[in-house]
Amino acid sequence: MKFFIDTADLAEIKDLVATGLVDGVTTNPSLIAKSGRNFLEVVREICAVVPGPVSAEVAAVDLATMLAEGRKLAKIAPNVTVKVPLTPDGLKACRALAGEGTMVNVTLCFSAAQALLAAKAGASFISPFVGRLDDIGAPGMELIREIVTIYRQYPSLKTEVLVASVRSPLHVIEAAKMGAHVATIPPAVLRQMFAHPLTDKGLTAFLADWAKTGQSILDPDGAERKAAE
Ligand code: E4P
């Protein structure tokens, strides 16, 4: 399963890319606004530090302008993935941009029917928003199960299920169990995934016991310690 991070905060991105666990980044207009940065500049900088796809969303809703914006964004770097909304014009833009060799992420997906349309339009990624469905009392993860099941019936479909609007590590674990290809994870949630109180407790105990041995793995004979004394 691939992990993307859902942020336009370059410092966060650099920090998490250094873990070697990040396969890509997703942004959206809200995340760009939150960053306070110039859109094109920040996308260029993210693309330079991230090894995989970086989603950058068009701001227009009409086909002609979406295409113009998408083509401009695609020129920023080879790993730009143009994000378009799941609307009729968005899917037309998806088909056209995909035909030009640009990766397209179709966003704001809330139904299996929409996901099927995006796949037929040649999307590289479909982004179902699980957290926003949960927010309205609908089971977000059920949508992932449906889409994964449908896509599996047609092995020739190349669209990857990119689980979006992730709110907790549980969303990621459930998505992995279902075989979703990608989860885009907010930095805070990715950090939560590292954490377990028993890991901290166990490590504290191991360190205390190791100190009692008086040994050093890197200086087993104490030569360096003696030389320093
Ligand atoms: C996905 O690409 C979106 O940027 C994102 O996951 C939306 O998440 P939110 O519902 O937390 O805003």
Per domain, the residue ranges of the chain are 2-194, 197-228
Long-range contacts of residues 15-24, Cβ cutoff 8 Å, at least 24 apart: 15/187, 16/187, 16/190, 17/49, 17/50, 17/51, 21/190, 22/50, 22/51, 22/52, 23/51, 23/52, 23/53, 23/182, 24/50, 24/51, 24/52, 24/53, 24/54, 24/55, 24/79, 24/81, 24/182, 24/184
Read off the DSSP letter of residue 129: B
**d(C-alpha 145, C-alpha 30), whole Å:** 27
pLDDT tens-digit map of 36-62: 999 999 999 999 999 899 999 999 999
Predicted local distance difference test score (pLDDT) of residue 189 = 98
Going by alpha carbons, the residue nearest to atom 1 of ligand 1 is 164
pLDDT tens-digit map of 157-172: 999 999 999 999 999 9
The alpha carbon of 210 and the centre of ligand 1 are apart by a number of angstroms equal to 44
Going by alpha carbons, the residue nearest to atom 7 of ligand 1 is 165
CATH says 2-194 is which class? alpha beta
| Ligand 1 binding pocket mutation candidate from 6, 26, 109, 172 (most atoms within 8 A of CB) | 6
The alpha carbon of 212 and the centre of ligand 1 are apart by a number of angstroms equal to 48
Q: What is the mean pLDDT of residues 66-86?
A: 98
Q: How confident is the model at residue 75 (pLDDT cuts 50, 70, 90)?
A: very high
Percent of the chain topping pLDDT 70: 100
Predicted local distance difference test score (pLDDT) of residue 54 = 98
| Ligand 1 binding pocket mutation candidate from 129, 166, 182 (most atoms within 8 A of CB) | 129
Predicted local distance difference test score (pLDDT) of residue 186 = 98
Does residue 225 have a pLDDT over 80? no
Structure tokens at 148: 């994964």
Is 83 catalytic? The answer is yes
The alpha carbon of 222 and the centre of ligand 1 are apart by a number of angstroms equal to 53
